[in-house]
Structure 1
Amino acid sequence: MGTRLRQAILLLSVAVGLFTGGWAGFAPHSFYSSFPGLTHAWVAVDGPYNEHLIRDVGALYLGLAAGGIVALLLKDPSGSRVLGGAWLVFGALHVGYHAQHLDLLDPIDAWGTLLALAGCLAFALLLLPARRRPAADATAGRHEHLAASR
């Protein structure tokens, strides 16, 4: 994957993390009663309000956003792969839960939930692969570095 595409996906993951995490972390009752907004409520249908749980969700998303910011600053595909792995674990479990509870939502919200969560899984999967240098190049680079440092 090219650097610009990787950076765009990282920026998207940061935006999702900041939006969702900021809302849940700093306005938990509003998040509970009206996420994702625009007269829809995907969280409130799933049980009673729990401020601790909602704030923890916010912290999780903000942590993923922070990881995305670090990966952007590192400008190294390995940071993107680590973030992709984190989003993949979280996203797979998250979409798995919601896929089993679609009956709580009307059909439009059920599809919206699945599409939003599938989007997060998609950028997780896109961040995972990265080009690897052939072993000979990597070894040569290490030898050159060692020789230069002597």
Structure 2
Amino acid sequence: MTRKALMTTAVLLCAASMLVFGFWAYFAPESFIDFVDYYPYNEHLTHDAGAFQIGIGATLLFGLVWKDTTLVVLAGFVVASGLHTLSHYLDRHIGGHSSDVPTLGVFVLVALIAIVARIRMRRAA
């Protein structure tokens, strides 16, 4: 196996581990906590943990596709923070602040604008 194939396999395995557990925590938080059996059930905390695990997994996959590290990390941030924002919206009935969704959403928007700017900069170069 070549070094590149070994590295790609390692990244894919790491991404899969983050994505499997992240999607599980995000979409089936009670089942996930029952399996983990580490802390008392907290739906919102588990949604947030899942969002960030999905973001890490997505970032690993983006790293295989794009060579531009700034683009990779911004895209990973958008995935993680976008899901985080969504979890605050969906879980608004169990706590948080009325400013959470718009505040978090602004950062997602800032990152999306930065992605567009980065792509335009690369095309212009």
Q: So what's the TM-score if we normalise by structure 2?
A: 0.49
* Rg (Cα) greater in structure: 1
Where is the helix percentage greater, Structure 1 or Structure 2? Answer: 2
